[in-house]
Amino acid sequence: MEDGHINTIGRHTEPSQAEIDRVGSAMEAVGVRGWLAIIDRSAYVAGQPKITMVMEMREPKVSFQEAVARFAAAKVSDSSNKG
């Protein structure tokens, strides 16, 4: 999402169009914009994963690269807060 947070769908499988549509509807309901993207590993392991955009969802107002940078910053912040 634009603020760097992530949600996952289609774990270990490609998400169905119905799943993608449900996520788009949920995003619209709460006013969130973002992308459908592929992450090359768990977001919860050390280091930064490779994130590849598949498609925009709800016309994001920031670039995909900016959202990935926000994700990286949030991940660093989360790991430093765990002591």
pLDDT 10s per residue in the chain (83 long)? 788 888 888 777 888 999 999 999 999 999 999 999 999 988 888 888 999 999 999 999 999 999 999 999 988 776 666 55
The domains of the chain are located at 17-81
For the chain, give the longest Cα–Cα distance. 40
Residue 70 zone, left/alpha/beta (φ > 0; ψ -120 to 50; rest): alpha
Task: Name the pTM for this structure.
Answer: 0.78
**What Rg value do the Cα atoms of the chain yield, rounded?**
13
* Burial call 14-38: b when 16+ CB within 10 Å, e when fewer: ebeeeebeebeeebeeeebbbbbbe
